[in-house]
Amino acid sequence: MEPTISTLIELRDALRRGELTSVAATQAMLDRIVAIDNTIRSYLTVTDEMALEMAATADRRRAEGEDTPLLGVPVAVKDLLCLAGAPTTAGSKILENFISPYNAHAVDRLIEAGAVILGKTNTDEFAMGSSTESSAFFTTRNPWDTERVPGGSSGGSAAAVAAGLAYGALGTDTGGSVRQPASFCGLVGMRPTYGRISRWGVIAYASSLDQVGPMGQTAADTAALLSVIAGYDPRDSTSLDTPVPDYEAALTGDIRGLRVGVPHEFFIEGIDTEVEAAVRAAIEQIARLGAEIIEISIPHTRYGLPIYYLIASAEAGANLARYDGTRFGERVTGSDVIDTVERTRALFGPEVKRRIMLGSYALSAGYYDQYYGRALKARELIRENFRQAFETVDVIAAPTCPTTAFKIGERVDDPLTMYLNDMLTLPLNLSTGCGLSTPCGFDSKGLPIGLQLIGGPLQEATILNVAHAYEQTQPRRKPELALGDIA
């Protein structure tokens, strides 16, 4: 029962042509989830009833002659985005039974566009992690090798799309949480410009860095999702009030004359040689498509990691203070108010506690200037680095991650090595641009490698077009194990 249609665009076109119904496509996905997600474990909640209702509605609308950008297309949503009437856990025990009364703005946009929401995908607790191993519920497996992590924190979304359990998905990217799992799972995953997508209804981790991002099998799938979820929302004061281009229409495949910068700092010591080779080969391919390759420098790249962890943790410490069991979510009743709050907060996992502690420390009296204050200043240096780079190039090309997917359990006891995994993705979050990861081959273990393309502010169409042009020159491959399971 393997769906013969694998990309979101292919499905959308088939639905438009009336070759199949949304109910059929949705049911096929739900059946496939039942068949293989006990192995992959990408979904925390499958909203099957809701999905079939949405699919039936989509078919009815279609029969009445309506068409909307994602009418009848089944997609998945990271469990950090609120979906009204369904559990929204953020991968945490503290929200285990929280049923959101509202939709995230991005979810609203998906539903308005006619998409069918299949369910909520696994995430590291409050998006704090790079492997889904910090999820309070379970670890998602990489469809390319189920002994390995799918990446994180949007690992559930990435695994679901890679395993053919959704035609596309939304994740969130605070330090690389869309691009890194996209890289590990062989997908296109984008972190749009901060403010391009409203954060309304997205459970906050680090507010100045969080951004919703789409994931798809192809650049076109990703562009279709982005076109739907991007746009101004007055409920988010950081939302950008600028017009949304037609990202799909921007995929001309013509990148002649485009200036592509390659920052040597992104080819860090310790980078996997196979990763480096694949990324350099991809850049050569991009050159062959007519782009001009320019060596550039983002000198402050190496400070990205400490800056990121100071800023993100400081913001997280404040953002997570609301989970006290008073108004919503879990409450562990103690002897008095303080005891109740303490017991309730004990439900946070170790990674979350670690970052709350780090963040509180970075902001505390006497340390603010030394840590948080300094991180803010250093962040400006990184922004300036990127701004200068984009004076001479249109796009920056680099590896998404220093390695391919690592084994489950391999790094859990070593937070620092785990953090290093985000070395190449988080500089972008500290800047004001956008970025994506697109597949650029495999290592000798058969694991996908990701090419990172970074653009300046609101240059989503440009980087999607580079990904699209490059994609046309590459063979498509799907994870065999996952497909084998449902033969």
Partner 1 sequence: MLQKYEPVIGLEIHAELMTQSKMFCGCRVVDSVEAEPNTAVCPVCLGMPGMLPVVNRRAVDFALLVALALNCEVQSNNIFARKNYFYPDLAKGYQISQYEFPIGLRGYLDITLSDGTIKRIGIRRVHMEEDTGKLTHLSDGSLVDFNRSGVALLEIVSDPDIRSGEEARAYAMRIRQILRYLRVNTGDMEKGVLRIEPNISIRPRGAEAFGTRVELKNLNSFRALADGTDFELDRQAALLDSGGRVIQETRGWHDARRETFSQRSKEEAEDYRYFTDPDLPPLYIDEAWIESARIALPELPQAKEARYRDEFGLSDYEASVLAEDRAVAEWFDAAVAGKGAGASPKTLANWILNDLFRLMNERGRSIDTLPVTPAALVALLGQVEQGTINQTTAREVLAEMMDSGRDPSSIIESRGLAQISDEAALTSIIDTIIAGNPGPVANYLGGKENLLGWFVGQVMRETKGRANPAVVNELLRTRLERERM
By C-beta, is 44 or 278 nearer to partner 1? 44
Instruction: Report the half-sphere exposure of 246 (CA within 13 A, side-chain side).
Output: 6
Give me the catalytic one of 177, 183, 227, 437. Answer: 177
Q: By C-alpha distance, which of 264, 259, 327 is closest to 297?
A: 264
Length reported for the chain = 487
By C-beta, is 152 or 329 nearer to partner 1? 329
By C-beta, is 267 or 328 nearer to partner 1? 328
Closest distance to partner 1 from the beta carbon of 82 (Å): 5
Cα–Cα distance for residue pair 33/43, rounded to 1 Å: 9
By C-beta, is 56 or 318 nearer to partner 1? 318
Give me the catalytic one of 22, 42, 78, 183. Answer: 78
Cα–Cα distance for residue pair 85/335, rounded to 1 Å: 32
Closest distance to partner 1 from the beta carbon of 27 (Å): 30
By C-beta, is 172 or 404 nearer to partner 1? 172
Closest distance to partner 1 from the beta carbon of 160 (Å): 21
Closest distance to partner 1 from the beta carbon of 101 (Å): 7
Give me the catalytic one of 100, 130, 153, 313. Answer: 153
Return the biggest CA–CA distance within the chain.
70
Closest distance to partner 1 from the beta carbon of 326 (Å): 5
Closest distance to partner 1 from the beta carbon of 402 (Å): 28
Residues of this chain that bind partner 1 (CB under 8 A): 81-82, 88, 90, 95, 98, 100-102, 104, 199-204, 206-208, 234-238, 314-315, 317-318, 320-322, 324, 326-329, 337, 341, 360, 363-365, 368, 372
100 catalytic per annotation: no
Cα–Cα distance for residue pair 294/208, rounded to 1 Å: 31
User: SS3 string of 164-217?
Assistant: CCCCCEEEECCCCCCHHHHHHHCCEEEECCCCCCCCCCECCCCCCCCCEEEEEC
> How do strand 212-216 and strand 169-172 relate by DSSP bridges?
antiparallel
Residue with tokens 């059946």: 31
Q: By C-alpha distance, which of 203, 227, 158, 155 is closest to 316?
A: 203
92 catalytic per annotation: no
- Identify the sign of the CA torsion 128, 340, 331, 101: negative
By C-beta, is 81 or 393 nearer to partner 1? 81
407 catalytic per annotation: no
Residues annotated as catalytic are 78, 153, 177
